Amino acid sequence: MKNPQVVDAVTRRWRAALFLFMLATGVSMASWVARTPAVRDALEVSTGAMGLVLFGLSIGSMAGVLASGGLVRRHGGRLVITVGAALLVAGLLVIAGGAALEVSGGVFGGLALFGAGMGLAEVAFNIEGAAVERTVGRPVLPVLHGCFSLGTVVGALLGMGLTAVRFPVGWHLAAVALAVAAAGVWTVRAVPAGTGRESAVSGDAESAAGAAGAAGTEGAESAAGAAGTEGAAGAEGAAGSGAGGGGRTGGVRGHLAVWRDRRLVLIGLIVLAMAFAEGSANDWLPLLMVDGHGTGATAGSLTFMLFAVAMTTGRFTGGPLLVRYGPAAVVRASAVVAAVGVALVIFSDSALLAGAAVVLWGLGASLGFPVTISAAGEGVRDASARVAAVSTAGYAAFLVGPPSLGFLADHVGLRNAMVVVLVLLGGAALITGALRRIPGAPVAEAPASQPDLV
């Protein structure tokens, strides 16, 4: 395997582009969330009616997530990211216009476009990130997701500040849209074409792998596009064929075929639990502190900010732990730490202790999603299809699972409903053995110094 300290200019630019756009998507998501009350006031709708408006985001997100894997297999990651970025920017602009014109339908439509763009781009980004990770031989996905978390912190702070000075929400979201568009243009130019695209002839990818390995892939953007780029990581870019043949597996049948692997099923269950834990905090943590522990609204928002900071910290600092202890041990410990945090939030009667426990919840949940995605991409066959399948499962849990807690909370209360999260985390901790590295798969090596981010 190539020395993980030596990363050519093309790969560095590829990696930096992914980091930048994930940061931008985090800023855009948090900017919307922070201005939700202002949008509701502008539309002059009830909380229930606002819930229907917000449903546009769920519809768009799930549509994008479910479509992304197949589109990447057919067209490659760069084209899917391009479409996703365009939809995301268009969605922000439509939301801004709908809020300014006080049109609920416009905001609903904008959220649907925004969600579709997020869903398309994020699954494609996981496939791209897994390819970069295999190429450079060191953890990349935790930092990639850490950039999104950092973006949510930046976006939330920006939103809080602009809300305090009563800056118009329409102009705020329009400015964010322009920033995301600029990041998207640079990202699309830096990401090589063809990553994750199926190839009927695996030999092409293998030939490009040899050429890329000999030349360090420098100046090989066009060759990388022809070979799926992941050839530099051992011809893994041919998602449907892989090294060793087996023919082309496409469409729904190809997506379902990867789930015949028992290890992938266990990885999918782990990502379901960890994504559910993260999504539950995103959806319910402020309300959980307000209704469950009697804090004020400001304290509830600050608690969520604490969770986001803990998530960001865990993702940016988790790489050395993965190198030293391996993904199975790290995710097992992460699930336990998150479970302890959730348990304290549920069962402690002290609002101060519950607020502090949110740090454990965030740190524990931070590495689950990216590490399971990385594990799914190991091996030389169907790497992109496996990453897409696990990403889809994770995003489905993240988007659909947590809202279901609201129905349960109507009967048992929100604190008691969070026991579901606790049970899922406990179950995930018991099956993390599935994350042990496949013999012969690339293993990240500990760098002699702190790894660079670009």
Amino acid at site 2: K
Are the C-beta atoms of residues 63 and 189 closer than 8 Å to each other? Answer: no
- Dist CA 392 CA 402 (whole Å): 16
- Dist CA 141 CA 61 (whole Å): 21
Structure-block tokens of residue 100:
């300014």
* Per-residue DSSP letter, 444: P
User: With DSSP H G I counted as helix, E B as strand and the rest as coil, what are the percentages for the chain, rounded to 5?
Assistant: 80, 0, 20
Quick one: pLDDT at residue 44? 85
- Dist CA 30 CA 252 (whole Å): 33
For the stretch 317-348, pLDDT in tens is: 888 898 889 999 999 999 999 999 999 999 99
Amino acid at site 201: V
Are the C-beta atoms of residues 435 and 267 closer than 8 Å to each other? Answer: yes
Per-position b or e across 196-223, b if 16+ CB within 10 A of its CB: bbbbeebebbbbbbebbeeebbeebbeb
Look up tokens 């760069």; give the residue. Answer: 78
Closest CA to 304 of 289, 285, 288: 285
Q: What SS3 class is residue 414? A: helix
Quick one: pLDDT at residue 252? 55
Count CB-CB contacts under 10 A for residue 403.
16
For the stretch 111-122, pLDDT in tens is: 999 999 998 998
Quick one: pLDDT at residue 402? 66
For the stretch 418-449, pLDDT in tens is: 999 999 999 999 999 988 876 655 544 433 33
Phi, psi angle pair for 45, to nearest 5°: -115, 160
Cα separations (Å) of 131 from 123, 333, 377, 446? Answer: 13, 26, 8, 19
For the stretch 127-167, pLDDT in tens is: 898 888 888 888 788 888 889 989 988 988 888 788 888 89
